[in-house]
């Protein structure tokens, strides 16, 4: 997806790190996470109520919601502005019908968007799970920080999946448990080449960047306030995953895996460019966002 | 001795390669990120120009009230730096800003504070007040400062389009806290912790704004900036030796209330 340069693979190399310290850090982060989960739980609880209201309006019409999704997709890319009003005026009766059940259709569209998000999370969990079976990611020869990152990130994606699917259920839709079909092909094609940390990091980066960009686009497309809140609470986390992977990738490509460590004082050893490699853009793009219905259930 | 030499060699390679990569990424930013953002801002300002009473301004009381309610617990605050660069009103007619514009004004004041804070870090570092400053930290501060300046400009674009002066003030509630805390900072970790607080506050405020603002274009602007502040945080955590992605879900408990700017 990104214009990532081919770099030579870094040799497998372990670094000195205190596993207990790493464990403590993970534990701390999990405590913080539990606090953050409270906020998300509140959003999901609120969503239950709005979902009940949506369901009271009747069954979801997939075709109608697809039309709305397409309209929203155009809005996301900005194409609707400028010619949007004229185009809308041209569809007359159809638009009237759409507006007559706008809240209902919007809810169905939200479900599709959330199902696509779930499908991305399913794939992310599976990809990290596979990566962790590789000796240089999850085995004894792995960099401890990379291993901890892959493990924790997989868990975080599983939590994202649960949150998205809970949101879908509460809006009256079916949870998505299958991977995004288009991205799945990308992962499948990449698997044979996962012979060293570099390609694994590149693949993970592609998934994380795609997820983050999709959710950034989603928050502008979602109608349900709580679906929007849940998605907003996840998009920045995926961006952080991408940020870490950019830094790791840069250090691997520079043949400096020993600098991938959380050891105190390590920052003094980092090259100057490492200070900005993790946030290459002042504004997060959406050009790699996945189509809103890509992972939707038909 | 030999090991040390090898280490330096590795770093020399790293520096060159990382510099090339950074240049690539910077180019990518101009190729991809900026056009997308420019489109969102153009959309935002066009709405205002074509309808001064449009929903950015008219969304007023409801949006403001919601943000206040959501953020009322976040007023106990943190940190550091410079004295306020201007009065809370910032020379703008802040009292007239409501709805999405009030959110934009608060956001601009937070961005101004971040720019000021990072500027003070650079000044202090140059004066030797922070001890030895690692090259990566210097790069981080310079780059993050530049991005925050761009964010401030983006937030201000809607305010200016609506006929108000740009917000040049720093968040009047946070600024004295930051100033006091920064006065106690004597080293790089201290400065990094302060920056981390500012980045998290900004990210949480914008995340909260996403569910408060009314115009889709406003949501787009907030959504394009929040992840970048989160990325700044991740790198700061890493620099501090802390796990870089501490939450599976980013919170909003530290979001600033509208009253920070509008009083």
The three-class DSSP label of residue A183 is helix
A41 pLDDT band, cuts 50/70/90, is low
What is the complex's ipTM, to 2 decimals? 0.75
- Model pLDDT, residue B78: 29
- Structural tokens at position B27: 């180019």
Q: What is d(CA A272, CA B2) in angstroms, rounded to the nearest whole number? A: 23
Mutate to test the interface with A, among B18, B50, B151 (most CBs of A within 10 A): B18
- CATH topology for A23-57+106-275 is Ferritin (1.20.1260)
- A278 and A243 Cβ atoms separated by less than 8 Å: yes
pLDDT, position B263: 77
pLDDT value at residue B81: 34
Q: How far is A27 from chain B (nearest CA, A)?
A: 10
| Phi/psi at A280 (5° precision) | -70, -15
Q: CA A154, CA A144: separation in Å to the nearest integer?
A: 15
Three-state secondary structure call for residue B180:
helix
Cα separation, A291 vs B228, in Å, equals: 22
Domain limits, chain A = 23-57+106-275
For residues B65 and B70, what is the distance between their CA atoms, to the nearest angstrom? Answer: 9
C-beta separation of B205 from B151 below 8 A: no
Phi then psi for residue A70, to 5 deg, are -65, -40
Q: Flag the least confident range among A182-191, B61-70, B94-103, B251-260.
A: B61-70
Which CA distances in Å does A276 have to A198, A203, A244, A280, B250? Answer: 20, 21, 11, 7, 22
- Give the pLDDT score at B36: 58
Q: Which residues 206-225 of chain B have a CB within 8 Å of chain A?
A: 207, 210-211, 216, 219-220, 223-225
Residue with tokens 């194409």: A79
Q: CA-CA distance, B228 to A246, in Å (whole number)?
A: 13
Cβ pair A275, B140 in contact under 8 A: yes
What's the CATH number for B2-262? 1.20.1260.10
Q: How much is the average pLDDT of B242-252? A: 97
pLDDT category of residue B262 using cuts at 50, 70 and 90: confident
Q: Do B28 and A280 touch (CB under 8 A)?
A: yes
Check: pTM over 0.80? Answer yes or no.
no
Share of chain B above pLDDT 90, in %: 62
pLDDT at residue A297 above 60? yes
Distance, in angstroms, between B201 CA and closest chain A CA?
Answer: 13
Average pLDDT, chain A: 77
Amino acid A54: pLDDT: 41
Confidence of residue B87 (pLDDT cuts 50, 70, 90): very low
Are A155 and B216 inside 8 Å of each other by CB? no
Cα A215 to chain center, whole Å? Answer: 7
Contacts 24+ apart (CB under 8 A), A74-81: A75/A220, A75/A221, A75/B216, A76/A217, A76/A220, A76/A221, A76/A286, A76/A289, A76/A292, A78/B39, A78/B40, A78/B43, A81/B43, A81/B46
**Position with higher pLDDT, A40 vs A201:** A201
Closest Cα in chain B, distance from residue A18 (Å): 12
The per-residue pLDDT for A106 is 62
pLDDT at B34: 56
Residue A153 has pLDDT above 90, yes or no: yes
**Domain ranges across chain B:** 2-262
Nearest CA among B130, B34, B32, B114 for reference residue B81: B114
CA-to-CA dists, residue A146 to A14, A105, A213, B123, B128, angstroms: 10, 43, 23, 35, 35
Q: E-strand spans in chain B? A: none
Contact: B21, A277; criterion CB under 8 Å: yes
What pLDDT score was predicted for residue B27?
A: 56
CB atoms within 10 A of CB B56: 29
Q: pLDDT tens digit string along B127-161?
A: 999 999 999 999 999 999 999 999 999 999 989 99
Across B51-65, B100-114, B159-173, B246-260, least confident range: B51-65
Instruction: Decide: residue B126, CB within 10 A, 0-12 exposed, 13-18 middle, 19+ buried.
Output: exposed
What pLDDT digit, counting tens, does each position of A238-250 carry? Answer: 999 999 999 999 9
Residue B166 has pLDDT above 80, yes or no: yes
CA distance B64 to chain A (A): 16
Residue B39 is nearest to which of A78, A220, A255, comparing CB atoms? A78
The per-residue pLDDT for range B169-219, each reduced to its tens digit, is: 999 999 999 999 999 999 999 999 999 999 999 999 999 999 999 999 999
Give me the pLDDT at residue B65, please: 29
Q: Is the CB of residue B70 less than 8 Å away from at least one CB of chain A?
A: no
SS3 of residue A289 by DSSP: coil
| Partner A contacted by B187 (CB < 8 A) | no
The whole-number average pLDDT for the span A225-237 is 97
CA dihedral B188, B194, B199, B200 (to 10 degrees): 130
Contact B261, B102 (CB under 8 A): yes
């Amino acid at each position: 997806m990104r214009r990532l340069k081919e770099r030579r693979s870094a040799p497998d190399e372990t670094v000195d790190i205190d596993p207990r310290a790493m464990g403590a850090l993970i534990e701390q982060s999990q405590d913080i996470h539990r606090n953050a989960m409270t906020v998300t739980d509140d959003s999901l609880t609120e969503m239950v109520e709005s979902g009940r209201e949506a369901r009271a309006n009747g069954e979801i019409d997939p075709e109608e919601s697809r039309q709305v999704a397409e309209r929203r997709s155009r809005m996301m890319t900005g194409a609707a502005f400028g010619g949007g009003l004229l185009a809308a005026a041209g569809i007359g009766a159809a638009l009237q019908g759409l507006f007559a059940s706008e809240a209902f259709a919007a809810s169905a569209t939200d479900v599709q968007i959330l199902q696509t998000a779930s499908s991305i999370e399913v794939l992310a969990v599976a990809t990290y799970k596979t990566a962790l079976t590789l000796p240089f990611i999850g085995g004894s020869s792995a960099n401890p920080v990379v291993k901890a990152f892959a493990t924790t990130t997989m868990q975080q994606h599983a939590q994202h999946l649960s949150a998205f699917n809970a949101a879908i259920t509460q809006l009256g839709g079916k949870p998505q448990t299958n991977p995004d079909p288009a991205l799945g092909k990308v992962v499948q094609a990449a698997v044979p080449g996962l012979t060293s940390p570099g390609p694994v990091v590149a693949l993970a980066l592609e998934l994380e960047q795609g997820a983050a960009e999709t959710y950034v686009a989603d928050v502008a497309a979602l109608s349900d306030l709580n679906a929007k809140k849940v998605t907003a609470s996840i998009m920045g986390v995926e961006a952080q995953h991408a940020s870490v992977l950019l830094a790791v990738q840069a250090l691997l490509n520079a043949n400096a895996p020993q600098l991938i460590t959380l050891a105190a004082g390590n920052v003094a050893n980092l090259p100057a460019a490492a200070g900005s490699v993790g946030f290459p853009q002042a504004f997060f793009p959406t050009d790699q966002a996945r189509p809103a219905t890509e992972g939707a259930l038909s | 001795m030999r090991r040390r030499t090898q280490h330096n060699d590795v770093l020399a390679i790293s520096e060159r390669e990382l510099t090339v990569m950074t240049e690539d990424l910077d180019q990518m930013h101009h190729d991809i990120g900026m056009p997308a953002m420019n489109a969102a801002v153009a959309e935002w300002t066009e709405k205002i120009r074509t309808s001064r009473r449009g929903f950015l301004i008219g969304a007023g009381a409801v949006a403001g009230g919601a943000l206040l309610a959501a953020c009322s617990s976040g007023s106990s605050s943190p940190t550091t730096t410079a004295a306020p660069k201007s009065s809370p009103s910032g020379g703008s007619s802040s009292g007239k800003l409501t709805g999405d514009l009030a959110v934009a004004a608060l956001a601009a004041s937070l961005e101004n504070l971040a720019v000021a804070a990072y500027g003070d870090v650079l000044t202090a570092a140059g004066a030797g007040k922070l001890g030895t400053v690692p090259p990566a930290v210097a790069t981080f501060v310079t780059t993050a400062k530049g991005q925050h300046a761009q964010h401030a400009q983006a937030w201000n674009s809607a305010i200016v389009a609506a006929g108000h002066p740009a917000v040049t003030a720093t968040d009047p509630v946070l600024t004295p806290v930051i100033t006091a805390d920064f006065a106690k900072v004597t080293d790089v970790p201290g400065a990094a912790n302060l920056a981390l607080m500012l980045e998290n506050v900004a990210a949480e405020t914008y995340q909260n704004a996403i569910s408060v603002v009314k115009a889709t274009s406003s949501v787009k602007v907030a959504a394009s900036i929040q992840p970048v502040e989160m990325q700044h945080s991740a790198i700061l955590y890493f620099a501090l030796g802390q796990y870089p992605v501490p939450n599976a879900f980013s919170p909003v408990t530290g979001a600033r209330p509208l009253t920070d700017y509008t009083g």
